[in-house]
């Protein structure tokens, strides 16, 4: 091992950068810098990502602010060095897009049955982070919270302005969340809450929020529109469902760079925009439960995915509501799986005529499952063996068709042209 150490010493101490041709000359400059050594080795690492320094690093900074000036400019209070809090109030009377911001306990209960019904315990949560990579190297630098109070929505945003103030920042957030009974978020279950948990661990603070009931609105939204819309980004949701169009919005993807610009150079020019972006996120999440509940009550009317919502209803034990949803959507020529589900629900409700009508529609276009259901229906319930056989014969070739046809043929001896069965 000592020889390796020895070699390292030599590599570092006596390195000669001159080419070998004049290697016999005196030793050159003392020690190449780490950067120079890495640059030389870099040739071999063409595949490895070399994060280029952000282009903005060299851009001139218009105004360099200190933290106090930043707080003043944002209209925030300075809770501790590195921790700013911005408080705003939004009258509920004011619409967000074309949506009201009133709390809707019925809507929330529909989407999250275990949710407490008193809106005073609800907290909307949205964070801004230093990136999407995940793991312990991703920071939460804005925590935005919104709560319903008399006549208004109270918005509180915490901004971390110094890396070494994270513990104080998180302690504030914890205190603020202590009374929360329900979280509302968009993708918070997967992203914001685990990330906060990681940050709290790193700061050696006890976990919070992780065990609260949590209505992550991404899930009902995916249910309703995941198969319908090209994507489920919050901006898409706002445009299509809330009729809200963001003006002068800083795209969320630029938030990390805006924060880094502040950390590196005191360039606060875009931090205000990040906070504004976060506030819009909070308002949209606050407005979403009412809209999504409406979609879940009448998916067809909103262009939502009737089948998935009906299935969800069924999974929650509400077959009646599922059937109603599907019946209401019947005018829209529902998909084959939707018709099958409705037929099943009809059957379950004892309305086999309605079920047969649906199967007949499907069988007319050669749907094998419908043919099989009809064959069973005619054989066992309607006792119409001839029609049962006709359905069975229309089944795609295979053992199932053969078995069924034979059994039917056996039940009605002499009555059938057997060749029709065997072909």
Q: Which stretches of the chain bind another protein, using CB under 8 A?
A: 1, 3-8, 10-11, 14-21, 23-24, 33-35, 37-38, 40-54, 57, 130-139, 162-164, 194, 197-198, 201-202, 256, 260, 263-264
Q: Is 64 exposed, middle or buried (0-12, 13-18, 19+ CB in 10 A)?
A: exposed
In the complex, least distance from residue 270 CB atom to another protein, rounded to whole angstroms: 16
In the complex, least distance from residue 181 CB atom to another protein, rounded to whole angstroms: 24
Hey, what's the torsion of the CAs at 352, 354, 355, 356, to 10 degrees? 90
Q: What angle do the packed helices 385-393 and 368-376 form, to 10 degrees?
A: 160
CA triple 181-183-187, angle to 5 deg: 165
Cα 78 from Cα 67, distance rounded (Å):
8
Of the pair 44, 247, the CB lying nearest another protein is at 44
Q: Which residue has the tokens 């898409």?
A: 236
Buried/exposed 27-54: b ≥16 CB within 10 Å, e otherwise: eeeeebeeeeeeeeeeeeeeeeeeeeee
Q: Which residue has the tokens 């907290």?
A: 123
Distances from the Cα of 356 to the Cαs of 124, 169, 353, 395, in angstroms? 47, 63, 5, 17
Of the pair 264, 386, the CB lying nearest another protein is at 264
Of the pair 162, 376, the CB lying nearest another protein is at 162
Of the pair 6, 118, the CB lying nearest another protein is at 6
Of the pair 141, 186, the CB lying nearest another protein is at 141
In the complex, least distance from residue 360 CB atom to another protein, rounded to whole angstroms: 41
Widest pairwise Cα distance in the chain: 112
DSSP string, 289-320: HHHHHHHHHSTGGGT--HHHHHHHHHHTT-HH
In the complex, least distance from residue 25 CB atom to another protein, rounded to whole angstroms: 10
In the complex, least distance from residue 214 CB atom to another protein, rounded to whole angstroms: 16
Nearest to 343 by CA among 362, 364, 365: 362
In the complex, least distance from residue 253 CB atom to another protein, rounded to whole angstroms: 9
Cα 285 from Cα 17, distance rounded (Å):
60
Contacts (Cβ under 8 Å, ≥6 apart) of 229: 236, 240
In the complex, least distance from residue 196 CB atom to another protein, rounded to whole angstroms: 11
Of the pair 5, 383, the CB lying nearest another protein is at 5
In the complex, least distance from residue 260 CB atom to another protein, rounded to whole angstroms: 6
Of the pair 21, 364, the CB lying nearest another protein is at 21
Q: Is 296 exposed, middle or buried (0-12, 13-18, 19+ CB in 10 A)?
A: buried
Of the pair 199, 323, the CB lying nearest another protein is at 199
């Amino acid at each position: 091992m000592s020889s390796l150490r020895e070699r390292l010493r030599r590599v570092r101490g006596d390195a000669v950068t001159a080419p070998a041709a004049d290697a016999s000359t005196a030793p050159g400059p003392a020690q190449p810098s780490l950067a120079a050594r890495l640059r030389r080795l870099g040739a071999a690492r063409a595949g490895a990502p070399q994060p280029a320094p952000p282009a903005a690093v060299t851009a001139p900074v218009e105004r360099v602010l200190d933290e106090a000036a930043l707080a003043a400019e944002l209209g925030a209070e300075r809770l501790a060095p590195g921790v700013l809090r911005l408080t705003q109030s939004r009258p509920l009377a004011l619409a967000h897009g074309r949506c009201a911001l009133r709390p809707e306990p019925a809507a929330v209960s529909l989407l999250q049955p275990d949710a407490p019904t008193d809106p005073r315990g609800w907290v909307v949560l949205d964070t801004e982070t230093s990136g999407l990579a995940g793991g312990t190297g991703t920071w939460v630098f804005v925590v935005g919270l919104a709560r319903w109070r008399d006549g208004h929505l109270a918005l509180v945003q915490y901004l971390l302005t110094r890396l070494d103030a994270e513990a104080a920042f998180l302690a504030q957030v914890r205190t603020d969340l202590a009374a929360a009974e329900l979280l509302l978020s968009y993708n918070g279950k997967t992203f914001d809450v685990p990330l906060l948990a990681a940050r709290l661990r790193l700061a050696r603070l006890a976990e919070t929020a992780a065990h609260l009931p949590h209505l992550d609105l991404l899930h009902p939204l995916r249910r309703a529109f995941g198969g319908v819309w090209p994507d489920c980004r919050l901006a898409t949701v706002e445009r299509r469902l809330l009729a809200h169009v963001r003006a002068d919005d800083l795209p969320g993807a630029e938030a990390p760079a805006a924060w880094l610009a502040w950390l590196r150079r005191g360039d606060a020019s875009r931090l205000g925009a990040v906070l504004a972006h976060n506030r819009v996120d909070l308002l949209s999440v606050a407005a979403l439960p009412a809209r999504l509940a409406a979609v879940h009550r009448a998916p067809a009317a909103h262009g939502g995915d009737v089948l998935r919502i009906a299935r969800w209803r069924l999974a929650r034990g509400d077959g009646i509501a599922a059937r109603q949803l599907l019946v209401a959507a019947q005018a829209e020529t529902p998909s084959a799986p939707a018709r099958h589900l409705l037929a099943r629900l009809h059957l379950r409700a004892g309305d086999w005529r309605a079920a047969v009508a649906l199967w007949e529609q499907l069988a007319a276009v050669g749907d094998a499952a419908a043919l099989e259901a009809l064959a069973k229906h005619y054989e066992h319930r309607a006792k119409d063996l001839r029609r049962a056989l006709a359905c069975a014969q229309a089944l795609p070739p295979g053992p199932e068709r053969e078995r069924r046809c034979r059994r039917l043929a056996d039940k009605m001896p002499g009555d059938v042209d057997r060749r029709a069965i065997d072909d």
